[in-house]
Amino acid sequence: MSRCNDNKTAMLIRPRNYAVRWPYMQVNRKDMQAWMVFDIDHDHRSVPNPYIWQDEGLPPPNLIVRNRTSNKAHLFYAIVPVFTSDQARSKPIQYLLPKRPFILGGRRPNFTAVSMNSMS
């Protein structure tokens, strides 16, 4: 079952084949993070650059989802899954959480992270 909605809360729980029809869908499970998703909405640029990862010297994402008219995009990076439930080990979670705004190598890219697993 996937979480989806017509707003960013993604509070509805629906089968995946139905959830993909909603404008907003949470890609990570409630108790596990397997994707890091970055929102490319640059307020300081007239046209967002979905290929900013190249400018920042970062590895290519596994998936880029781009709006053809506005050029806004989401970059999806697949990671080794990290369990985030109350029963999960704390060290992998502590390692992952500080990395969200910095991704890979400690550099702060010029884009912001989307809430990935905070919608539980």
Q: Which of 16-30, 36-50, 104-118 has the highest mean pLDDT?
A: 16-30
What is the model's pLDDT at position 10? 81
Strand order in the sheet with 24-26: 12-14, 2-5, 24-26
This prediction's pTM: 0.70
State in Å, rounded, how far the first CA of the chain is from the last one: 14
Q: Could you tell me the CA-to-CA distances from 114 to 40, 89, 94 in Å, in that order? A: 9, 23, 18
Spell out the residues 6+ positions from residue 31 whose beta carbon is closer than 8 angstroms to its own. 83, 84, 85, 88, 120
| pLDDT score for 62 | 95
Are 62 and 85 contacting, i.e. CB atoms less than 8 angstroms apart?
no
pLDDT of residue 61: 93
| pLDDT at position 99 over 70 | no
Average pLDDT over residues 32-43: 80
